Structure 1
Amino acid sequence: MKKKVLAVSAACALTAATAVPALALENEFHGMFRVFGTMSNFNDGGSGRLLPTDATTGRDPKTRSFVEQRARLMYIAKANDDLKLVTHFEIDSRWGDNSYANGRNSGGAIGADTVNLETKNVYLDFNIPSTPMNFKVGIQPLVDSYKGVFFNTDVAAALATAKLGNGSVVVGFARLDDADTFTLGSAAGRSTSTPGKAKRDLYIVDGKYNITKDVKVGASYYLLNVDQKAGDNFVPTSTTQTYDYMRHTFGVNAEAKFAPLTLDGFLLYQTARTNGPDKIDQKGWAANLTGKGKLGPGTLKASFLYASGDSKRGTVRDDNTYYGITNETSGANGEHSFYESDMMILFRNKYNITGDRAIVYNVTNVIGGFVGYNANITPKAFANVNAGFVAAATGNDDFGSARVTIGGHKSDYLGTEINGEIGYKVFDNLTASLQGAYVFLGDYYKDTVGTAANPQTPRDPYEGRIMLNYAF
């Protein structure tokens, strides 16, 4: 009897074991935790463009000190190799901000206990068996093939990717916002009009091809279809007239390796014409060239960026400004970037949390050159140093956002940034580092604060940070 019981039990266990793989769900967890303390006369802990001439900073702004932290948690529910659900959440706070509250970017004050979980991504990622097709459907991270200068954001989208031999093609659609009826310069005019009637949609066609293992080329077409009121970067003569236009953006990019040097770059051209009573023809372009290579214990890199502007924007019916994708529902506005600059003050920095300030927050009307060196001192210690030289592409004082109204400009040169970082890998996944940046302001800001009778020049911005970064 005992033998029969054991035999039956073994058979049941074996049946259950063989059934599990067909029903089991593979769970993956990833994420990061970052905390850093900041001391700066420029960064005020907010997000968006900040001018050295802003009234909030004045000629001699006070030094601010604060601590921020960010946690990102990713859970992936994998049914099999061809099907998974990806979710990504974020918790941000500044130490001492508030507690017992509801809202993002908060909960760092005594008591904590704040509802502040942000949903970054929720999307389905699946392959069609026996085909080269992959689909991603849902709120997902979306980055262009041009280092993020057109879009680098999280957005509700549907993307189809086909791998064809040495190349690949991506075709997609993203709804940027809906029921959107903003008026010029205001985010307070949002209404709940009929869904699908006042919207901004982005259509994507993106191709890449590997000519050899060392030479890659690509081409893209991005269509921004806008059906909303005045705004979205255009400056018409009226702030209430309805605009219905399509902005066409064409791009080519390439990368070539010539050991030990790697060169890559891109060219973007865009055109649009508004269909409202104020007819505006827009034509803009952007270009980049980057070179990097091994030198001694590290890597030397140099990069150039140009994004066109227009000194007469808003006064005539033509606009030669290049525009990246912006956010019409947020005061921060920027949904594109150029993190390759490795700037901390002149451009947005890849490590920024809620204190996401920059002189050039939106990549438009700007020309810049950047050099840097990343050195591995020991297997665990490293050091980076960077310099950036940035000017307005034209004399227009409205690139990005607020204008300088006192004194005009003595030149288009914005300034020179020098920054550096030294760090140590405490563990494989934990890095501690010390960062610092200083900007020598150019004559663009000379005599731009104070009064018209007594113009003054603002102090040079600086920032220092100490950071812990854990990734898993």
Structure 2
Amino acid sequence: MKKKIFAVAAAGAMTAATAVPALALENEFHGMFRVFGTISNYGSTNASGSTIAGVLTPDLSSDAPTRGYMEQRARLMYIAKANDDLKLVTHFEIDSRWGDNAYNSNNTTRNNGGAIGADQTNLETKNVYLDFNIPSTPLNFKVGIQPWVDSYGGILVNADMAGALATAKYAGFTNSLGWFRFNEDAGSLPGKATRDFMILDTKYNLSKDIRIGGSYYLLTDDRAASDNTYTHMIGVNADMKFDPVTVGAFGMYQFGDTPSTVNSDLSAFLVGTTAKAKVGIGTVKLAALYVSGEQNANTDSSAFQPINSESSFYAADMQIMLRNKWNVNNDRSLVQNISNFYGAFVGYDANITDKLFANVNAGFGFAAQTAGKGTAAEPDSSYRGTELNAEVGYKLFDNMTVMAQGAYFILGDFYQKTKGGVDNNLDDPYQARLMVNYAF
């Protein structure tokens, strides 16, 4: 009898001990659902396209047919919050194009399940990381697969990545130190052949209206084809508010080894600026950007090196020329990885009523360098073209918006003509969208 009493008491104690943290846990659920229809005469499958003027370009052609498709994306976030200093963040994504695949018929890739029958294995892990503060210190740590964007508009990298990031805020400073592992060679021992990214970021508030910053990033690659390359990046940035104008400026210099390329030295840079001002019922936006390109075809490189396909500059608010903020899977901008590019952008965001809004934007793009210099294949101009786009949206509910978008890109002679007199006669790309976006 005593043994039974002790066993029951022990079981009760264990149940109580495990129930306390469960009862104290705060569960948060967030997410979004987006569905839109697109009509367009250009585009490409993931990573494919045409090589025009020496660069990979989404499929442009003469007599380009108009196509229409529907895409949807759901993002689901669950946060397990133990207290104000400790939480686990998880973030998942489900993408599909209507009519793509069903019944797990393409289980080697993601972004499927929109064909009749559905039933596709299609749940992507975007983020899983622990977010915690060290009590009585200004230190915060994020450890795991997490989102991270550089301090330069996302031009270098804007992606989800696995690593550890420590941030300290004190006396007007915000300092960050991080390490991320990008890749390992398939088939190698874990940690044997890797591509790693280290960051050191600092920002300082000179006043409530002026903040300055500096960065040092290091990309190392000792995978089989890279023979230990080291790419260094040094940058400076600033954000300043002169009511009613807000101005941003930034610049970065890359040197050392060209990433993943043996015996190749790198010397490349980017500079940019943004500005916003409240005017009338909306905001005027300005932006300018210069990202260096390849000056000659020797073993060394002067072309800025973004991180794979994770480059963006959303401040431009382009839909065709540069990666757009609403992209899902079938979007491919004319300049997908931002390098060998300079341009200027202007736009206006109008709040017509508390529910109705609209914006218009124009962008003018150029190539910093042209391929095939001195030959008949050299593009006739560095002018890539001009984009005009617009968007109108209505908040049907506080957390649901319906939007109509349209964009047209006037191709320049960088794409259309060569010094040798060849005329590609490509159709100007365009697209139109109708979108429903729900966030919770």
Question: Shift of the alpha carbon at 1:337?
Answer: 1.0
Tell me what 2:254 maps to: 270
Partner AA of 2:46 in structure 1:
S
Q: Are residue 469 (structure 1) and residue 437 (structure 2) matched?
A: yes
SS of 2:228 mapped into structure 1: strand
Distance in 2, Cα, partners of 1:50 & 1:348: 15
Shift of 1:454: 6.9
TM superposition shift of 1:43: 2.6
Q: What's 2:3 paired with?
A: none
State the Cα distance separating 1:356 from its structure 2 match: 2.3
Contact persistence 2:258–2:300 (CA under 8 A): no
Match of 1:171 in 2: 177
Match of 1:393 among 363, 368, 372: 368
Alpha-carbon distance, 1:408 to partner: 3.4
User: What is the aligned partner in structure 1 of residue 13 from structure 2?
Assistant: none
2:231 touches 2:258 (CA, 8 Å); kept in 1? no
Q: Which residue of 1 aligns with 2:209?
A: 214
Change (3 A) 1:57 1:304: closer
* SS of alignment partner, residue 414 of structure 2: helix
Give the one of 378, 402, 414 matched to 1:408: 378
> Structure 1 residues 302, 293: CA separation in 2 closer, same or farther (over 3 Å shift)?
same
State the one-letter code of the partner of 2:231.
R
Residues 215, 51 of structure 1: alpha-carbon distance in 2 compared, 3 angstrom cutoff? farther
How far is 1:194 from its partner?
Answer: 2.1
Contact 2:38–2:433, Cα closer than 8 Å, also in 1: yes
Aligned residue among 295, 309, 323 for 2:305 = 323
CA deviations on 1:90-141 (whole Å, 9 max, x unpaired) are 0000001111113411100111111100000000000111111110000000
Per the normalisation by structure 1, the TM-score is: 0.83
Compared CA separation, residues 274 and 362, structure 1 to 2 (3 A): closer
Query: TM-score, with normalisation over the residues of structure 2?
Result: 0.89
Q: Which residue of the partner structure matches residue 279 of structure 2?
A: 295
Match of 2:119 in 1: 113
Contact 2:371 2:379 in 1 (8 A): no
Relative distance call for 1:58 and 1:203 in structure 2 (3 A) is: same
Q: Equivalent residue of 1:456, what SS?
A: coil
Letter in structure 2 aligned against 1:281: D
Distance 1:277 1:89 in 2: 34
Q: Alpha carbon RMSD of aligned pairs, Å?
A: 2.3
CA distance in 2, matches of 1:86, 1:275: 32
Task: Name the counterpart of 2:142.
Answer: 136
- Displacement of 1:58 in angstroms is 2.4
Whole-Å separation in 1 of the counterparts to 2:401 and 2:39: 20
1:38 is matched with 38
Gaps of 5+ in 1: 1-15, 180-190, 231-241, 327-333, 399-404
Separation (CA, whole Å) in 2 of partners of 1:263 and 1:299:
13
The letter of the residue matching 2:270 is: A
Could you tell me how far 1:23 is from its partner in structure 2?
4.4
Aligned to 1:183: none
Aligned-residue identity in percent: 55
Farther off after superposition, 290-299 or 389-398: 389-398
The 5-angstrom pairing of residues 21-36 of structure 1 reads: 23-36=23-36
1:43/1:64 contact within 8 Å kept: no
Contact 1:282 1:318 in 2 (8 A): yes
Whole-Å separation in 1 of the counterparts to 2:344 and 2:312: 15
Give the direction of change, closer, same or farther, for the CA distance of 1:228–1:410 in structure 2 (3 Å limit).
Answer: same
- Distance in 2 (CA, whole Å) between partners of 1:135 and 1:141 is 13
More off after superposition, 140-149 vs 66-75:
140-149
Instruction: Tell whether the 8 Å contact from 1:97 to 1:107 is kept in structure 2 after alignment.
Output: yes
Q: What residue in structure 2 maps to residue 61 of structure 1?
A: 64
Inter-partner Cα distance in structure 1 for 2:261 and 2:354: 63
Aligned in 2, Cα 1:32/1:340: closer, same or farther, shift over 3 Å? Answer: same
Q: Does structure 2 retain, via aligned residues, the 8 Å contact 1:347–1:361?
A: yes
Report if aligned partners of 2:407, 2:431 keep a CA contact under 8 Å in 1: yes
Q: Does the Cα contact within 8 Å between 1:208 and 1:216 map onto a contact in 2?
A: yes
Question: Partner of 2:198 in structure 1?
Answer: 203
**Which runs of structure 2 are paired with 1:6-405 in the superposition (5 Å)?**
23-44=23-44, 46-48=45-47, 50=49, 56-101=59-104, 102=107, 103-179=109-185, 191-230=186-225, 242-273=226-257, 279-312=263-296, 315-326=297-308, 334-396=309-371
Decide whether aligned partners of structure 1 residues 210 and 339 sit closer, same or farther in structure 2, where only a CA change above 3 A counts. same
Q: Deviations over 1:293-323 (max 9, x none)?
A: 00110000110011101231xx313211111
| Partner SS, residue 111 of structure 2 | coil
Cα 1:454–1:129 shift into 2, 3 Å: closer
- Report if the CA contact (8 A) 2:184-2:223 is conserved: no
Instruction: Find out whether 1:459 has 2:427 as its counterpart.
Output: yes
> Corresponding residue for 1:443?
413
CA–CA separation in structure 1 for the residues paired with 2:59 and 2:238: 43
Q: Is the contact between residue 50 and residue 59 of structure 2 (CA under 8 Å) also seen in structure 1? A: no
Aligned positions, number: 414
Aligned counterparts of 1:412 and 1:295: Cα–Cα separation in 2: 34
What SS does the aligned partner of 1:340 have?
Answer: helix
SS at match of 1:319: coil
- The answer for the alignment partner of 1:3 in structure 2 is none
Structure 2 residue matching 1:60: 3-state secondary structure: coil
Q: State the secondary structure of the residue aligned to 1:114.
A: coil
Aligned-pair distance for 1:222? 0.3
- Distance in 2 separating the partners of 1:433 and 1:446: 32
Deviations 1:340-365 (A, max 9, x none): 11111100101011112110000111
What SS does the aligned partner of 1:445 have? helix
C-alpha distance after superposition, 1:399-443 (max 9, x if no partner): xxxxxx994311011000000001100001000010000001101
Paired letter, 1:73: L
Distance 1:94 1:41 in 2: 17
Q: Deviations over 1:67-89 (max 9, x none)?
A: 00000000000011111000000
